[in-house]
Amino acid sequence: MFDALTARLGGIIDRLRGRGRLGEADVDAALREVRLALLEADVNVDVARSFLARVRERALGSEVAGSLTPGQQVVKIVHDELVTTLGRQAVPLARASSPPLRILIVGLQGSGKTTTAAKLARRLRSSGHHPLLVAADLQRPAAIDQLETLGERIGVPVHVDRSTTAPKLLKAAVKRARSEGLDAVVADTAGRLQIDEKLMDELAAMRRAVDPDEVLLVVDAMTGQDAVNVASGFLEKTDLTGLVFTKLDGDARGGAAISAREVIGRPIKFAGVGEGVEDLEVFHPERMASRILGMGDVMTLVEKAEAAWDEQEAREAAERMMTASFTLEDFLAQFRQVRKMGSLTQLLGMLPGAASAFGDAEVSDEDLSRVEAIICSMTPEERRSPKLIDGSRKRRIAAGSGASPQDVNSLLRQFAETQKMMKTFAGGRSPIPGLQAPGRRRKRKR
């Protein structure tokens, strides 16, 4: 979502870093470009003005004038003030005033409330909680069916009663959670196409019924500045505790996500970064600011790896690599572990300097899917012994995977080169002159 803004700000930052001295004219020229970049990204005008005023005041102050690297110091100021705009630090879910933790998911129809409720329940479950989902959107029968399907997929029970009212349903769900030892209730509430009195009256009745610990507004980031208007409208009518932005992996300009915290005065607690039930991240302002400025987000990358990677399998694969017995079956298993972490584009965005390193090169997840399809079209015997794959087998594998025989050839050639390098290391010889292979010591001449 922030690609265009990242590219614009990246160019400005690179020019600032290269300057030995920065005068008032230099700072003003750079900030004019930053202002254009923010407005093009659909950042709220007042938010952009406040952000630039804070940056200018600090950039013309003593912390830059007395710095040996003024350009670098201005970049740090831009990062710090962007973190301030986004909310300074991650805000966790509230603690239950009395168990279970009660969470209402609210928002307009089509914003992604139902999916977000399931994603949040899954996240709570993976962190050791025992949640209960509540299908409290009684206006849309399909929402109830969708939540039941999602609940079954993630292994979380769903409380359903189509014959009652939403407030009564919530009270019954809280009672059930207490009796069954469940410590969190996540309720998917009804939405409308626009904010109206009927919607707000229903939300008010639900709040009175269960006194929620959290009221999270789900906002579609693709709606641009209207997302901020929607949040403002809800805030006028009900007491929100936080925001959840969905579709942050989309191709909208992203300014609403930058503006929301300062305009609404409520923290962004979570961000939806994909359609899968696992694609919900805690919103860390500092990490998001680093991503926007092209500085990467290594911490989130590490957390994704820890969540997706099977440590035992990884250790066994590493051992097979070092003994040169790594096969295409092992490669497929490791490949799928990486895919669990998210799209390659997202992962590269978390690596510092990846944007400049890859330049305009296209990094396509379709290419990765093609590699996976090619390996899946092989028999287990072929994966273990690629030398068995002759011309006719290549044509069969290509037809089964929707690839070309040239694609199959390319994959086999690359894998053969990798195996050759592994054998070199396993034999104690380094493929790089002057570099000793790990685990082997040269014998000293006596």
- The pLDDT tens digits for 242-297 are 999 998 876 666 788 888 888 889 999 999 988 889 889 999 998 888 878 766 55
| DSSP summary character for residue 278 | T
- Between 372 and 4, name the one with better pLDDT: 372
Taking alpha carbons only, the member of 222, 220, 150 closest to residue 188 is 150
> Judging by DSSP bridges, how do beta strands 158-159 and 268-272 pair with one another?
unpaired
Taking alpha carbons only, the member of 41, 148, 47, 105 closest to residue 272 is 105
Range of 13-17, 173-177, 305-309 with top mean pLDDT = 173-177
DSSP for 191-249, written as a single string: --SS--HHHHHHHHHHHHHH--SEEEEEEEGGGTHHHHHHHHHHHHHS---EEEEE-TT
List beta partners, residue 242: 216
**pLDDT class for 104, splitting at 50, 70, 90?**
very high
pLDDT at 433: 42
Q: How large is the average pLDDT for residues 324-349?
A: 69
> Judging by DSSP bridges, how do beta strands 131-136 and 158-159 pair with one another?
parallel
**pLDDT class for 235, splitting at 50, 70, 90?**
confident
Q: How much is the mean pLDDT over the chain?
A: 81
Residues 190-212: tens digit of each pLDDT = 988 778 888 888 889 999 999 99
Taking alpha carbons only, the member of 307, 320, 256 closest to residue 278 is 307
Q: How large is the average pLDDT for residues 355-359?
A: 47
- Between 132 and 11, name the one with better pLDDT: 132
pLDDT at 72: 77
pLDDT at 343: 64
User: CA-to-CA distance for 270 and 217, rounded, in angstroms?
Assistant: 10
User: CA-to-CA distance for 6 and 355, rounded, in angstroms?
Assistant: 9
pLDDT at 256: 80
Least confident of 158-162, 233-237, 373-377: 233-237
**pLDDT class for 4, splitting at 50, 70, 90?**
confident
Residues 29-72: tens digit of each pLDDT = 889 988 988 888 888 889 999 999 999 998 888 767 666 577 77
pLDDT at 134: 97
pLDDT at 200: 87
Token pair belonging to 58: 């600090």
- Between 121 and 436, name the one with better pLDDT: 121
**pLDDT class for 431, splitting at 50, 70, 90?**
very low
User: CA-to-CA distance for 18 and 126, rounded, in angstroms?
Assistant: 46
Is 101-285 a domain of CATH 3.40.50.300?
yes
Q: How large is the average pLDDT for residues 307-327?
A: 64
**pLDDT class for 236, splitting at 50, 70, 90?**
confident
Residues 375-420: tens digit of each pLDDT = 999 998 998 888 899 999 999 999 999 989 998 998 888 888 877 7
| DSSP summary character for residue 386 | G
Contact in structure between 191 and 136 (CB atoms under 8 Å): no
pLDDT at 26: 83
Asked whether residue 298 carries a pLDDT value surpassing 50, the answer given is yes
pLDDT at 274: 83
- Is residue 11 packed enough to be buried (19+ CB in 10 Å), middle (13-18) or exposed (0-12)? middle
- Between 361 and 44, name the one with better pLDDT: 44
User: CA-to-CA distance for 120 and 186, rounded, in angstroms?
Assistant: 8
pLDDT at 94: 94
Taking alpha carbons only, the member of 293, 353, 349, 352 closest to residue 85 is 293
CATH class of 3-86: mainly alpha
User: CA-to-CA distance for 313 and 311, rounded, in angstroms?
Assistant: 6
Asked whether residue 360 carries a pLDDT value surpassing 50, the answer given is no
Asked whether residue 361 carries a pLDDT value surpassing 60, the answer given is no
Q: Where are the domains of the chain?
A: 3-86, 101-285, 307-426
Asked whether residue 167 carries a pLDDT value surpassing 60, the answer given is yes
| DSSP summary character for residue 50 | H
**pLDDT class for 438, splitting at 50, 70, 90?**
very low
- The 10 Å Cβ neighbour count of residue 206 is 27
- Between 391 and 223, name the one with better pLDDT: 391
User: CA-to-CA distance for 210 and 175, rounded, in angstroms?
Assistant: 10
Q: Which CATH fold topology does 307-426 show? A: 434 Repressor (Amino-terminal Domain) (1.10.260)
Q: What are phi and psi of 247, to 5 degrees?
A: 65, 35
Asked whether residue 432 carries a pLDDT value surpassing 50, the answer given is no
pLDDT at 154: 96
pLDDT at 214: 96
What's at 293, amino acid-wise?
L
